[in-house]
Amino acid sequence: MDYLKRTTICAVASAIALTAGAQAALSKDLRIALQSDADVLDPDQSRTFVGRIVYASLCDKLVDITPDLEIIPQLATSWETASDGMSVTFQLREGVIFHDGTPFNAEAVAANIERSQTLDESRRKSELKSITSTEVLGDYEIKMNLGGADATLLAQLADRAGMMMSPTAAAEAGADFGLNPVCSGPFSFTERVAQDKIVLTRFADYWNADEIAFDSVTFLPIPDTTVRLANLQSGDIDMLERLAATDLAQAEADADLVVQSAVSLGYQGITFNISNGARGDNPWGNDKRLRQALSHAIDREALNQVVFEGAFAPGNQAFPPTSPWYNQSLPVPPRDIEKAKTLLAEAGFPDGLELEVQVPNSTEPLAVMQVVQAMAAEAGIQIKLTSKEFATLLSDQSAGDYTASQIGWSGRVDPDGNNHQFATTDGGINDSKFSDPKMDEVLNTARVAPGIDERKALYDEATAIMLDELNRLFLYHVTWIWAHSAKLQGFTPYPDGMIRLEGVTWEE
């Protein structure tokens, strides 16, 4: 056989092999285990962390972030802020369509902003409050007019407030959009079985389709961390989010697995019902001294060591101690049982009292609250734990059907995202219904302050109020830990905890 003929045959064989490999990759259903089930799949209404993981594959945003937290283009290719800060003009990506065939353009963006601001059930209203109107300047150019300079806007648009939904589907479905969400991301919605699975299918007309290597992705809620890891090791799933710190050594010792991590932007803690309905009228909601007493009863460093083997960071603010926004003058306090007892007595409960805390029915939150329960008992606080499926817990919390909740927040690039919607009077996720005119003034001013130094001083002031009022009692800051099959290649960990599948492949 001559050289030319041999070369031709080899080239054909290689092409066939490459084609077969590509087909194998595209026929692969990527299976990802989540710590809990997502809530409603409507970016305007939802609030769960795992829901945002699903959205990373379902709904593109106007802008995204890098692993280093820089704002970068996604559906918007560029933007320019007016010299007076009173408007931002976006140039939009051309050739993008939603999963139902509706074109993505400036009119679609305007419709999304209007829906986020006016839908009765929307939780994005406070995030987009600064936008007073939109102007469609061309098919792919839109101007957002602002009521005042807003240093937080781009960061908001890098999250759910910037997720673009088909205006056709949104108008038809109204508040029921989450039953069949239609966006423009790399995968389209196929099926959902509550507490079982969410199935997305590769969208062939995705604008960045060459970067997507899977035919489908299935998200499986598995609350028990031990079961999640066992399923990964058996091959029943390909990836899990939030590997338990106690399982880290076992996962790292498995040659078939890869473990990756990133420090989060958020916090975990206890949220109190201050005045959200009838159940807000209780001693814990009515007297901050009781909340302060519980805080003094907790040894945050010991909590981190016992539950997380020191892998996480003890915390007492909305930002981790490593954040430039952390108020260094108010560090994590040492445990002070005597101070806790004194505060209880001053509040009229020298013999202690009971506190009911609802807690997600997954391994780590339950372990956290069992340790807090034991610590609090030494001060005379008897904590009653009520375990709930996470979406149910959120629903009850939103409705005011709770006294306290063990709950956290995954964090946002801008400090506003960790505070404003939780601590201002009309905040979209202010389930405490905490209201303080000074807090409103400080956090609203921080949104429009001209420079980092001015904003830092305002957030320091807000933090001082938060640590006095304690409608949110902060406990610790997580490190996101992912584990996945070694066959999964190209995954990049992000501080926001999202799983981005662009550029991720499966190598047998």
19-28, 191-200, 396-405: least confident range: 19-28
| Residue 180: both structure tokens together | 């069949």
- pLDDT value, residue 4: 36
Pairing of strands 404-409, 505-506: unpaired
Task: State which fold the 60-179 domain adopts.
Answer: Dipeptide-binding Protein; domain 1 (3.90.76)
Q: What are the domain boundaries of the chain?
A: 28-36+186-263+480-506, 60-179, 267-477
Rounded to whole angstroms, the Cα distance separating 367 from 475 reads: 13
Rounded to whole angstroms, the Cα distance separating 203 from 190 reads: 11
Query: Are the CB atoms for 390 and 360 separated by under 8 Å?
Result: yes
Name the residue type at position 169.
A
Q: How confident is the model at residue 322 (pLDDT cuts 50, 70, 90)?
A: confident
Identical fold, 28-36+186-263+480-506 and 60-179: no
- pLDDT value, residue 24: 41
- pLDDT value, residue 10: 41
Q: How confident is the model at residue 30 (pLDDT cuts 50, 70, 90)?
A: very high
Which among 222, 218, 311, 217 has a CA at the least distance from the CA of 261? 311
1-10, 138-147, 460-469: least confident range: 1-10
* Residue carrying the six token digits 């902060």: 474
Q: How confident is the model at residue 27 (pLDDT cuts 50, 70, 90)?
A: low
- pLDDT value, residue 356: 98
Render pLDDT for 102-147 as a digit per residue (tens, 0 to 9). Answer: 999 999 999 999 999 999 999 999 999 999 999 999 999 999 999 9
Is residue 418 helix, strand or coil?
helix
Strand partners, 481: 261
- Please, what is the average pLDDT of the chain? 94
Rounded to whole angstroms, the Cα distance separating 255 from 251 reads: 8
User: Where do runs of H (alpha helix) occur along 430-485?
Assistant: 437-448, 452-469
Residue 80 vs residues 88, 89, 91: alpha-carbon distances, Å = 6, 5, 9
136-140, 344-348, 426-430, 437-441: least confident range: 426-430
- pLDDT value, residue 263: 86
Rounded to whole angstroms, the Cα distance separating 316 from 304 reads: 13
pLDDT at 207 over 50: yes
DSSP string, 341-371: HHHHHHTT-TT-EEEEEEEESSHHHHHHHHH
Overall average pLDDT of the 197-214 stretch: 98
| Residue 96: both structure tokens together | 């993008």
Q: Which CATH class for the 28-36+186-263+480-506 domain?
A: alpha beta
Rounded to whole angstroms, the Cα distance separating 51 from 221 reads: 11
Sign of the Cα torsion 35, 31, 59, 320 reads positive
Rounded to whole angstroms, the Cα distance separating 1 from 341 reads: 92
| Residue 110: both structure tokens together | 């305007």
- pLDDT value, residue 7: 37
Q: How confident is the model at residue 15 (pLDDT cuts 50, 70, 90)?
A: very low
pLDDT at 450 over 90: no
Render pLDDT for 62-116 as a digit per residue (tens, 0 to 9). Answer: 999 999 999 999 999 999 999 999 999 999 999 999 999 999 999 999 999 999 9
396-414 in b/e burial notation, b at 16+ Cβ within 10 A? bbeebebbbbbbbbbbbbb
Rounded to whole angstroms, the Cα distance separating 123 from 429 reads: 7
DSSP string, 90-130: EEE-SS-B-TTSPBPSHHHHHHHHHHHHH-TT-S-TTTTTT
Cα dihedral angle (325, 55, 98, 163), rounded to 10 degrees?
A: -20
User: Where do runs of H (alpha helix) occur along 243-287?
Assistant: 248-252, 283-286
pLDDT at 23 over 50: no
Overall average pLDDT of the 314-327 stretch: 94
Query: Are the CB atoms for 408 and 267 separated by under 8 Å?
Result: yes
Render pLDDT for 263-311 as a digit per residue (tens, 0 to 9). Answer: 899 999 999 999 999 999 999 999 999 999 999 999 999 999 999 999 9
Rounded to whole angstroms, the Cα distance separating 230 from 487 reads: 17
Strand partners, 353: 381
| Residue 321: both structure tokens together | 């101690």
pLDDT at 340 over 70: yes
| Residue 472: both structure tokens together | 């949110």
Rounded to whole angstroms, the Cα distance separating 43 from 41 reads: 6
| Residue 356: both structure tokens together | 């009911």
Sign of the Cα torsion 118, 119, 121, 124 reads negative
So what's the architecture of 267-477 in CATH? Roll (3.10)
* pTM passes above 0.75: yes
